[in-house]
Structure 1
């Protein structure tokens, strides 16, 4: 049996997985955590909204047909809230007809995957969505009336290595990819990202990337 990495730290990409099938929740959560993601789970849209009041993930992965609040209603709520409207969303659904995909994408999902699916494809779609979100962040980072300013200490000083790492984070690269590019271990990159989050008092990689872009560091 594969060993799992150490408990995810706050520099890891944070995912919210929403599904009323406990078996799927266990399998997908287990696989994503093995890939290095920090995964929070909810059983329906209403529970997910409660979690989103205090937990801001880098991506939402959710089923469509769920009790209490389905995926469509959840995403409608997410897209209407400027605090979390930017979060990329993936629908996982057994409804695989063309009209189902069209409705899901028109509702506000960025990706639509049909059950059953291959875990490798799921991870590839997650990584692709996170990279795309980072690219969009780079080109649409001007604050708006609805945007929430990042509260960062004014005396933050980064080392030359941290500066290089945060530039790559802002490009949407995962810790593993940054480690390969800089020819160091993934643990070393995780340490640098964690240090920067502590220095800036930010909560996740998305906020770190946004701060780097808005501060003209990236």
Structure 2
């Protein structure tokens, strides 16, 4: 499995409209996310075999494998079943929303949508997902604890950054909260990963939560 950018949360965007892919990808990247893309479900499954994102944004109506079928397969695979999923669809009636949510999506958004609304939904869904994972870490005694050298020390700013990472904040959110640039946030996260020997933001969050640093 390929290493992903350790400092940014990764999204998988699936849609058969190349123009939408370009526009949404650019907007999400501008907001600090790393974005993988696929034009239909089968291609997305191949990507998942190589790399697991933090969240999936999926169109409903696609050739070969539609969004419903894709999500059904994801929810039945223990490797991916926990992934938060946002559905995008041109169908906006109540019955369509209900079907999308009952089929396994966490959020159902109707096209056309404002890019800012999508970013807000991504931020909110990731934060909720991180809170649930944090709660599970606290409740699960048999989960192996994250091992970090006892000599590791964090600067005051790193401590503030890592606390916000553990709460599910994106780099952009952290930047705005602390009044520093996104590049500085990424630098702090990268430094902390190097200090601790951890591999990604999820492990960093677990370390903070397990050691009650938040």
The TM-score, its normalising length taken from structure 1, stands at 0.84
Corresponding residue of 2:57: 61
- Residue 53 of structure 1 aligns to a residue whose secondary structure is helix
Please name the residue that 1:34 is paired with.
Answer: 30
Change (3 A) 1:93 1:201: farther
Give me the CA root mean square deviation: 2.4
SS in 2 for 1:96: coil
Q: In the aligned structure 2, how far is the partner of 1:160 from the partner of 1:53?
A: 37
In structure 1, what is the Cα distance between the partners aligned to 2:194 and 2:66? 37
Provide the residue aligned with 2:154 in structure 1: 159
Q: Equivalent residue of 1:16, what SS?
A: strand
Report the TM-score, using the length of structure 2 for normalisation: 0.86
- Structure 2 counterpart of 1:175: 171
- Counterpart of 1:123? 119
Please list every run of 5 or more consecutive structure 1 residues that lacks an aligned counterpart in the other structure. 1-7
For 1:210 and 1:101, how far apart are their aligned partners in 2?
34
Q: Give the stretch that moved more between structures: 156-165 or 87-96.
A: 156-165
Taking the TM superposition and a 5 Å limit, the aligned residue runs for 1:70-149 are 70-141=66-137, 142-143=139-140
Q: Tell me, which stretches of 5 or more residues in structure 2 are unaligned?
A: none
Q: CA 1:15–1:76 in 2, change beyond 3 Å: closer, same or farther? A: same
The separation in 2 between residues aligned to 1:13 and 1:38, in whole angstroms, is 6
Rate the CA distance shift 1:179–1:26 in 2: closer, same or farther, 3 A.
closer
Number of residue pairs aligned between Structure 1 and Structure 2: 209
Segment drifting more, 129-138 vs 106-115: 129-138
Segment of structure 1 superposing worse, 107-116 or 175-184: 175-184
Q: Distance in 1 between matches of 2:196 and 2:15?
A: 34
Task: Output the CA distance in 1 between the equivalents of 2:213 and 2:77.
Answer: 28
- Identify the range of structure 1 (161-170 vs 150-159) with the bigger mean alpha-carbon deviation: 150-159
Offset, 1:78: 1.8
